[in-house]
Amino acid sequence: MSLVEINFDGIIGPSHNYAGLSPGNIASASNAGAISQPRAAALQGIEKMRANLRLGLAQGYFMPLDRPNRQWLSGLSTDMTNAEPHIRAAAFSASAMWAANAATVSPAPDTADGKCHLSAANLLTMAHRSHEWAGTLAQLRLAFADERHFAVHAPVPSPYGDEGAANFMRLCPSHGEAGLEIFVYGKSGGPFPARQHLEASKAVARAHRLDPERTLFIQQSEIAIAAGAFHNDVVAVANERILFTHEQAFEEPEAAYTAIRDKMPEIEIVIVPADRISLADAVQSYLFNAQLVTLPSGEMALILPTEAQSNPRVWGWLEEHIAGNGPIRRLIPVDVRQSMANGGGPACLRLRVVADPATVDPRFIANEAKLDRIADVVASHWPEAIAPSDLGRPEMVEQVQAARTALLSACDLSELV
């Protein structure tokens, strides 16, 4: 098999709105009540995927989930007409677009049975995300149905919160070789919840049949969570031999670095000092919520939001890194402002899966023609704008559901209806 890293992006759904449902997510809270632009948001996400394809990267996508989630509302003995506003908003949420929270993925070279393992995340800490897992699991089981190469697991049961790959990093000599898997958990975040529980991370590692000698559990910094780094991928990102991290990402950074180096001596750790880029700047710019990728040339590139380019302290440090011949050789800004305004950067929008693309259901693998077809559906069917007052309108519900149905039909995925 030819194992490569495939980035599966969540297509931004037609119900994308700013309800401010995520405590600890500064951008989400700051934009609560604003008018969203679902059509523009989805087209921005599609352009990001196009850009990755043109860089020579393997690219996939996931479909939006059915919204509003009437089954969840029924379980609460209500419906979209009668639900309280916060329940209605939670049922309508498009947050499954952030595919980094869909699952945790352990590639075949790391597992005892030589299969790529995927565990759907339960996301139980946040009400609006806690009901995603069923739709996500159905999609994972369809995309990765080849049991010769994949094992797809149901979520870790409550009460242990699991937020998926946003709190997971993998270091390796190359994507197709055995690696070191790092699970980052939280204990306390001051005024905000720590979303990744240690017991959930341990359960996923056991399910994936990982070698304990090649697995680490590291605590996320409490001050980082309190500053708005609600997931580890807001303050650290890894790719092959490189760990790119903020100085204050981990609770005991020197112990973390020592443990990583002991298990992978060839690691190169790029630490951004807090006196150059504060946690506030890191969270505002989503510098670390970038896609750190290996290009076909072998160079490493950072695909990061335009907000990072607009922050003079962040961009100045990055330019110094490039000029100093650091391991990251290219900076590629992308416009995902609609996602950023709701608290998700380029890395939030994608789930990394190391696999042979030929073993994945081809309906989930992107090419230019498929992205053209998806963009046409979005341009024709996605709402142009959604205000908070729109969430209760039957006409909006009908438009959102018809839009998703049109997309599933265009992608030959109608079994997901």
- What amino acid positions are annotated as catalytic residues? 163, 231, 348
CA–CA separation, 352 and 3 (whole Å): 12
CA–CA separation, 42 and 13 (whole Å): 7
Q: What does the CA dihedral 377, 381, 385, 386 come to, rounded to 10 degrees?
A: -120
CA–CA separation, 59 and 4 (whole Å): 10
Under 8 Å between Cβ of 181 and 212:
no
Give phi and psi for 393, each to the nearest 5.
-80, 125
The secondary structure element, H or E, covering residue 330 is strand 328-334
Alpha carbon 375 to its chain centroid, in Å, reads 21
Give the strands of the sheet with 103-106, arranged side by side: 103-106, 116-120, 150-153
H-helix segments, 125-190:
127-130, 133-143
